[in-house]
Amino acid sequence: MKLMVITDLHQKRSVLDWINSQIAENKPDCVLFLGDVTDMGTGEDAADIISGIDADVYAIPGNCDPRDLPEKVAGVCRDMHGKAADLGGYRLVGLGGSNITIFGTPFELEEDEIYDTLKANSSEGMILMTHAPSYGILDQIPSGLSVGSPSIKKIVDEFHPILALSGHIHEAIGVVEQDGTVFVNPGPARECRCAFISLEDGKVADVRLVGPLD
C-alpha cells in the first residue's frame, strides 16, 4: 500500500495542481491530510479545497482550521478526527487540532482530551495521524524548544504504532525511527512538500520526502 501524506496547506489553493500532479505520477492508494487545510478559514473553504484533490482523502483538522471542519468535509472525504478506520488491513487512528499554543488558534485541545480521545480508538501497531507531533520528536521550533504533545507521545509509548504522522511544526521536516515507530513530518504542502510511504507486511517499507526542488 502506498500513502501520500500532506499537511499545512494553509489555504494556498494554487498548490492543488502540484498535489494532483504528484498523485498522477506516484499513484498512491489514498491521501492522508494532516490538517491546516485552511488559514483561519471556514469549513466550506476546507471542503472546497479537499474536493479538488484527485484521490480518496482521509483528513483531520489542524489548529488553524475551524471547529466545524470535521462535519463540513465529511461529504468530500473520510473525516478522521477522533475516529478510527480500516485502511487496507491497517488500523488508522486520527486526531486533529493541536495541544495548547501561545497563539490562541481555533482548534486547540487540552492534553487530557488529546489522550482520552486517542486512547479510545488506539490499538497496537496502528497508523497514527495527528496534526501535532509527539513531544520531543519532530517538534522543535527554530529556538530549539520542543512544543509537541506529551499525550500523543504517551499514546505512542503505550500502543507502538508502526507509523506516526504529524505536521504543525513547519521547520521540523523529517523521518525518525524510534522503538519500532517511524515518525514522519512531510513539511508544509504550501511549500510543495509531501511524503510517499509504502507499507508492506505490516511494516513501513519506504518513506520518501518530496520537496519543492524534487
pLDDT at residue 214 greater than cutoff 80: no
pLDDT band at 175 (very low <50, low <70, confident <90, very high): very high
Count other C-beta atoms under 10 Å from residue 118's C-beta.
Answer: 25
| pLDDT value of position 212 | 87
State mean pLDDT over 195-205. 97
Answer for the pair 10, 46: CB distance below 8 angstroms, yes or no: no
| pLDDT value of position 149 | 98
pTM for this structure?
0.98
The structural domains of the chain, ordered by start, are 2-210 (3.60.21.10)
State mean pLDDT over 81-94. 98
| pLDDT value of position 59 | 98
| pLDDT value of position 171 | 96
Residues 6+ apart with CB under 8 A from 171: 140, 141, 142
**Proportion of the chain above pLDDT 90, given as a percent:** 99
Answer for the pair 109, 98: CB distance below 8 angstroms, yes or no: yes
Burial of 108 (C-beta count, 10 Å sphere; 0-12/13-18/19+): middle
Q: What average pLDDT is seen over the chain?
A: 98
CA distances (Å), origin 169, targets 57, 106, 121: 22, 16, 25
Answer for the pair 199, 90: CB distance below 8 angstroms, yes or no: yes
pLDDT at residue 153 greater than cutoff 80: yes
State mean pLDDT over 5-22. 98
Answer for the pair 77, 49: CB distance below 8 angstroms, yes or no: no
Q: Express each pLDDT in 98-141 by its tens digit.
A: 999 999 999 999 999 999 999 999 999 999 999 999 999 999 99
| pLDDT value of position 193 | 98
Provide the CB-side half-sphere exposure for 85 (13 A, CA): 17
**Proportion of the chain above pLDDT 70, given as a percent:** 100
| Cα torsion through 126, 130, 135, 140, rounded to 10 | 130
Please list, residue by residue across 79-89, b when 16 or more beta carbons sit within 10 angstroms of its beta carbon and e when fewer do.
bbbbbbeebee
The span from the CA of 55 to the CA of 29, in Å, is: 8
The span from the CA of 32 to the CA of 155, in Å, is: 20
Nearest residue to 5 via CA among 214, 160, 207? 207
Residues 6+ apart with CB under 8 A from 169: 133, 138, 139, 140, 141, 147, 148, 185
What does the block give as the cell for 130?
495527528
pLDDT at residue 40 greater than cutoff 80: yes
